Structure 1
């Protein structure tokens, strides 16, 4: 397997650093942290949180900012979560797109069948545990937390990959299986965010702006130049577009698509996804986050490489904006999220992975045992990034959201559980 991007390591470190600063800040001076997160950058009628939503979140501090009456307010939190995080989801979307569409894509064919079944179990298991335990706690608790059912379905790609290498060794087939599961999990998570967690009142007509932006930029700056160059080996028009215009047309189309998502009521952090498939790309995939792809000259991989360092900074800011939770907020939603991840993930992955591998006879990669599925499920229980993101959209700011976020943060305990599970199941590390 081609080496996985160093991006994952850098992303992990910066995200943790931002989250640790947020935790310390929120537990030493919660008021100033809250003020920083909700700080208004622009009162306007186009983008941002609903003004009333912001006033409720700010409480009495809202009176500190004199402003004309507007429909929306662009805050620091909105800038990071709804605008800048769109670039992170674009990178994740690029990996999913390549894995599904391109030759040798990791999620194509029979080789992906068992990981996809395991991914399904890794989502159904956490949902069943989360909602089942919530129902046991009573209707009051269930009603308060039910909308957070998707929080424990997430798997953090970077942290899971790093822990997977510790448990299995870099050369073990279970590490590749884990990456396939994690990227499929992220793809499902993007769909869940779009379908089940709209950010406002739905206005689907605005999605036409995203659609026409994607179709327009694809035809004018991708398909048309190639069509005009047909039969000319020098490909002058395509070369001119690539060298002179580069990614600028796609950035403009992305801005329009983002605005279409925001106005349609869908989460705007997903707004760049329709543009990703329109960029000229290589004709085969090297693997999920393969380091070799940074040397490719196609515009899609070139753009991803350019985004590498900016997205690392974005993820630092994401940790800073979302992980600032007071330890006193730990309550029932914390344990429900944690139980969904630490109990539901391993058993869901094991059960559905077994069905895919043995009942449906799709098989497992050579050198991988059935019991390794359980260990993979333990590693995949690290929800962190996407779990934090879902918690921030599933609940309004307040005690329930804070408690759910704490569950996402505490899912790091899955790393220690994974190491113990690997020892108990006698995992043989394979270095390579």
Structure 2
């Protein structure tokens, strides 16, 4: 297994720092914090085509700091995640190809259905008022934070244990499913699917003009002059322009625009083989897709700091039923879902486990994967409106607190590893 690059560590640290500052700030000076989050960068302008209210007047909106980070800049984070998923699926030695990925993928399904069942089941048990208030957040506990899970997984199993690779596969597949859930179940506005044709058209056009056509013209030419010219002269600019058009298409289609770069990722020239998810070895590759990822690495780390800062600021007085439902979904549903579905894949279905892994390791992996944080926070921020209340508790803030408390899964995972006799493998 190739070593995972330090982007994961830096991303984790900056995200935590941003989240801790937000928590302290929101509880010491909540008015000041929320004023900062909703700070207007541009006042009264139109994003996209004009929208009209019932009186026939044009509705204006403000470009806030929160919108800039969550809807615009987070698109680059999701693009990096999509790049890793894309390579894992299509490239030679891709982690999500063939039988070796079968058991982790089945376990991933368990790690999503389990939390949903626990979250909605407990919500129904608490009564119809609670269920009606929180049902829209069913996807919040399905997420697994890739970076934090990887770091805790290394702590529990050791860097060389096959369970760490299994965990990475599960986490990246989980986030891929999370992107699909966001796109389908959490539209950002009134759906206008015809605008997706702009995204599709931008992706097709940039692939044809900047990728396929130069390679076609280079057939039989060992020096590859056209492809070389496109790489050196045009570089990433055609894909950036196409990405902007695709983002606009998602925005106008009513799908969360943070996913707007996803159709462009597969169009970018890529390496011919995969080295593993977030592999450090990829820094030595010269293909344009990895080059773009390296350019984005440090800016995305800064974006994630601001994401934590602008989304994790929740007052402790907001703790309520949604908090415990999200936490139960993650801490109970995730481990038992991964264990059950992983066992079904490994034993009854005969797909097996990686050499050196035990069935009980699946439970420990599920405990590690219960750290939802980044994507859970993101889903919580789009699942509920700011005025959704359960009694006198804001549902969105309470659900976010559950995502933040999921860090408790790290302690549970360490204890579970000790109790189940996990033997750390460092090499």
TM-score by length of 1: 0.95
- Structure 1 distance, partners of 2:5, 2:119, is 33
Q: Where does 1:178-257 land on structure 2 (aligned, <5 Å)?
A: 178-257=167-246
SS at match of 2:347: helix
2:386 aligns to what?
397
- The answer to whether the Cα contact below 8 Å between 2:51 and 2:58 also exists between their aligned partners in 1 is no
Q: CA deviation at 1:50?
A: 8.8
2:402 is the counterpart of 1:407: yes
CA contact (8 A) 1:382 1:415 kept: yes
Q: 2:345 aligns to what?
A: 356
Alpha-carbon distance, 1:71 to partner: 2.7
Corresponding position of 2:391: none
CA deviations over 1:345-378 (Å, ceiling 9, x no partner): 0000000000000010000000000000000000
Q: Which moves more between the two structures, 171-180 or 33-42?
A: 33-42
Shift of 1:388: 0.1
How is 1:13-412 mapped onto 2 (pairs within 5 angstroms)?
13-42=13-42, 43-46=44-47, 70-398=59-387, 399-412=394-407
Counterpart CA distance in 2 for 1:239 and 1:69 is: 48
Partners in 2 of 1:354 and 1:71 — Cα distance?
53
- Size of the aligned set, in residue pairs, is 417
Kindly provide the CA deviation profile for residues 184-216 of structure 1, in whole angstroms up to 9, marking residues without a partner as x: 000000000000000000000000000000000
Give the secondary structure class of the aligned counterpart of 2:63. Answer: strand
C-alpha distance after superposition, 1:257-299 (max 9, x if no partner): 0000000000000000000000000111110000011110000
Shift of 1:72: 2.4
Aligned equivalents of 1:9, 1:103: Cα separation in 2: 27
CA offsets per residue over residues 129-174 of structure 1, 9 Å max, x none?
A: 0000000000000000000000000000000000000000000000
What is the Cα deviation at residue 233 of structure 1? 0.4
Q: Deviations over 1:194-244 (max 9, x none)?
A: 000000000000000000000000000000001011111011111011001
Partner SS for 2:62: strand
Task: Give me the whole-angstrom Cα distance separating, in 2, the residues matched to 1:49 and 1:353.
Answer: 49
Of 398, 420, 424 in structure 2, the residue corresponding to residue 425 of structure 1 is 420
Alpha-carbon distance between aligned partners in 1 of 2:155 and 2:273, rounded to the nearest angstrom: 29
Query: In structure 1, how many angstroms separate the alpha carbons of the residues matched to 2:315 and 2:112?
Result: 28
Taking the aligned partners of 2:235 and 2:226, their CA distance within structure 1 comes to 13
The 1:21/1:336 distance shift into structure 2, 3 A limit, reads same
Deviation at 1:17, TM superposition (A): 0.3
Measure, in 1, the Cα distance between the counterparts of 2:108 and 2:49: 34
CA contact (8 A) 1:33 1:324 kept: yes
How far does the alpha carbon of each residue in 1:88-140 deviate from its partner, in whole angstroms, 9 at most, with x for none?
00000000000111111100000000000000000000000000000000000
Q: Structure 1 residues 385 and 140, CA, compared in 2 at 3 Å: closer, same or farther?
A: same
List 4+ stretches of structure 1 deviating above 4 A: 47-52
Q: Which residue of 1 aligns with 2:2?
A: 2
